[in-house]
Structure formats: structure tokens, C-alpha cells
């Protein structure tokens, strides 16, 4: 296949100022403020939580917990990413719309994101109070960006290897995986802005493990700075994924340390938003990276002062 031309800051810097604020819902996140996006799945079969938050009350309790732990964004999903039982748009909406409404009532200032690739579901959750549409399948339904524009909400533009939703990659190859990622997500971001989505409400996501083998995901991680240099805020969804498991030969439940290592690398390279199951641990890691970089001060300073 022919490698896409890499996108550079020079080409796109005029559209989205590098390091500018991110504005979602009632929140404005500063240029050096890392944001944890907590995962809350109303699914009976997700790979990590395995249905623990499928019941509405359990999902609401989980939202309360992650907000207390410092999540700035709550990402609600009604369909697992992997292959499995068919979930209709009506069923997906049944799982997520009421939860969005209830979270909006309980936490008026938290940013509510919904992980969906369907424009029909996007329309309903925006009416219910969502602030962000997390399109993890790379614009599979291009109308979803139009929904985001119409409702004035944000949009996550993800690289999913040009595969249909809920499809696992099979012997996927790229001449240059990072070039393909950047060309795809910046194209989606530019299209979203052209439709009326605010530039400061658009994020790009390399889509770790989506349309990629583990070596691709590792390469995307170590070259994440190239995505950051496009000027668009970068979201990473690393939590307990297969590339971490294959780097360590560990099952899902034992991938926390590997996830946090990849999180620290991504934070140091400039990622802004971190989608995570383990909110408090992730928040501590990215806060420490900010302190090392000098973009955040100490919370308390005692050593050597007394």
C-alpha cells in the first residue's frame, strides 16, 4: 500500500493552535492540564469489567466513584469494541441514554462522553446532555460528525485501521503506521471543523490496537510526539489493552503496571487526555509526569525547607 504523506505542524498549525485550551461542556482544560477520561461501560461483556457496571445503579455508583477520584471526563459505552452479540441501535440507546440523563443531573460540571459510532445514538445522547462523542471507529458513519456540529459538542476522531466496527485486525500491514494514523485522524478532524464542530472541542486518537497489531501500537506510542505536533489534542486509550499484555505476556487483570508505563510515556510525549479504567492511579501518574516536566508545581513542598 502507498504510505500517506505525514502531516506536520507547519501544514495544520494555523487551524488548531498547538497547546491551546480544550473546551468541552462547562469545562475548559488548560494547555498543560492532563485529563483522565473514566471508562463506564453499560455492557454485559466488556473485556475488563465483564458486566460489573451493566446495571444502571452500578453504573451510577461507578460514575460517582470516578468523579471523586478526579476524572474530568466520563466516557459511557453501550457496545463493546470486540466482536460479539449484535447490539442494535435501539438497544445501545436503551443502555446509554438514561445513564447520560442521570449523570447530567448528578454531576452538572463533569464532561459526559459517549463511545458510539452511530449517528442515531449520537443524536439521542446529545439531547440527553452529552458533551462529547467518542467515535472509536474512524468516522464509519460520517453523519456522526454532523450530529456533533449540530449540537455544539466535541468529537474524538480515531484511527481504526479503516475497518468496520467491532472487527479485529487480521495480518494488517502499513508502510508507515504513524503516517496512516496522522493522515486519517487529521482528515477526520479537518472535516469535523468544516462541518461546524469547534476546533477546540476536537481530539485525535491513534486507536491503540484498533486495526493494529501490538508492534503497531508500540510504534504509535513511541512516536506519539508526531501526532502532538499536528496541534490537535491527543487522546490515548491504553488501558489494559492487548499490546500491553503481549509486551508482558500477562492477562487483562495483570496489565495495570504496563498500562501505567505506557501512560507515562504518552504523557511525557504530550498526550492530553487519558482514557482509563484505573482512574486514581492514572491521575497520579500523569500528575507526576507534569511535575517532572515542570508544567505543574508540587502539591506540597516540605523537603529541605525546614
Half-sphere exposure of 13 (CA within 13 A, CB side): 7
- The Cα 263–Cα 261 span in angstroms is 5
Predicted pLDDT at 187: 97
Residue 215 annotated as catalytic: no
For CA atoms 210, 276, 261, 247, the dihedral sign is negative
Could you tell me the three cell numbers for 216?
A: 503497531
Answer whether 0.85 is exceeded by the pTM: yes
User: What is the tens place of the pLDDT at every residue in 124-167?
Assistant: 999 999 999 999 999 999 999 999 999 999 999 999 999 999 99
Task: Determine which one of 241, 255, 272, 283 is catalytic.
Answer: 241
The one catalytic residue among 42, 62, 255, 275: 275
Q: Distance from first CA to last CA of the chain, Å, rounded?
A: 63
Alpha-helix residue ranges (DSSP H) falling in the chain: 9-12, 56-68, 89-106, 119-128, 143-151, 177-195, 214-222, 224-228, 242-248, 256-269, 279-293
- Cα 17 to Cα 10, 11, 22, 31: the distances in Å are 11, 12, 11, 10
**Buried/exposed code over 227-238 (b: 16+ C-beta within 10 A; e: otherwise):** bbbbbbbbbbbb
Model confidence pLDDT, tens digit, residues 169-226: 999 999 999 999 999 999 999 999 999 999 999 999 999 999 999 999 999 999 999 9
**CATH homologous superfamily for 35-293?**
Dihydropteroate synthase-like (3.20.20.20)
**241 flagged as catalytic:** yes
Residue 84 has pLDDT above 90, yes or no: no
Amino acid at each position: 500500500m502507498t504510505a500517506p504523506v505525514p502531516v506536520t505542524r507547519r501544514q495544520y498549525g494555523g487551524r488548531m493552535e498547538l497547546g491551546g485550551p480544550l473546551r468541552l461542556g462547562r469545562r475548559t482544560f488548560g494547555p498543560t492540564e492532563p485529563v483522565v477520561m473514566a471508562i463506564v461501560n453499560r455492557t454485559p461483556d466488556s473485556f475488563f469489567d465483564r458486566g460489573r457496571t451493566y446495571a444502571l445503579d452500578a453504573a451510577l455508583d461507578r460514575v460517582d466513584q470516578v468523579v471523586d477520584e478526579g476524572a474530568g471526563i466520563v466516557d459511557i459505552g453501550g457496545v463493546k469494541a470486540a466482536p460479539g452479540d449484535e447490539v442494535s441501535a435501539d438497544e445501545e440507546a436503551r443502555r446509554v441514554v438514561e445513564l447520560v440523563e442521570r449523570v447530567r443531573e448528578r454531576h452538572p460540571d463533569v464532561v459526559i462522553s459517549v463511545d458510539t459510532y452511530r449517528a442515531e445514538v449520537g443524536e439521542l445522547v446529545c439531547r440527553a446532555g452529552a458533551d462529547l462523542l467518542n467515535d472509536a471507529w474512524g468516522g464509519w458513519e460520517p453523519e456522526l460528525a454532523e450530529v456533533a456540529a449540530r449540537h455544539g459538542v466535541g468529537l474524538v476522531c480515531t484511527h481504526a485501521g479503516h475497518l468496520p466496527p467491532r472487527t479485529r485486525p487480521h495480518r494488517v500491514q502499513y508502510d508507515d503506521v504513524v503516517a496512516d494514523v496522522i493522515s486519517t485522524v487529521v482528515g477526520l478532524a479537518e472535516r469535523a471543523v468544516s462541518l461546524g464542530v469547534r476546533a477546540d472541542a476536537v481530539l485525535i486518537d491513534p486507536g491503540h490496537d484498533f486495526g493494529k497489531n501490538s508492534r503497531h501500537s508500540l510504534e504509535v506510542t513511541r512516536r506519539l510526539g508526531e501526532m502532538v505536533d499536528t496541534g490537535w489534542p491527543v487522546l490515548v486509550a491504553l488501558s489494559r489493552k492487548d499490546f500491553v499484555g503481549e509486551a508482558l505476556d500477562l492477562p487483562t487483570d495483570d496489565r495495570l503496571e504496563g498500562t501505567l508505563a505506557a501512560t507515562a510515556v504518552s504523557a511525557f510525549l504530550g498526550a492530553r487526555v487519558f482514557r482509563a479504567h484505573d482512574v486514581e492511579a492514572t491521575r497520579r501518574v500523569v500528575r507526576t509526569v507534569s511535575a517532572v516536566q515542570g508544567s505543574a508545581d508540587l502539591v506540597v513542598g516540605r523537603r529541605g525547607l525546614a
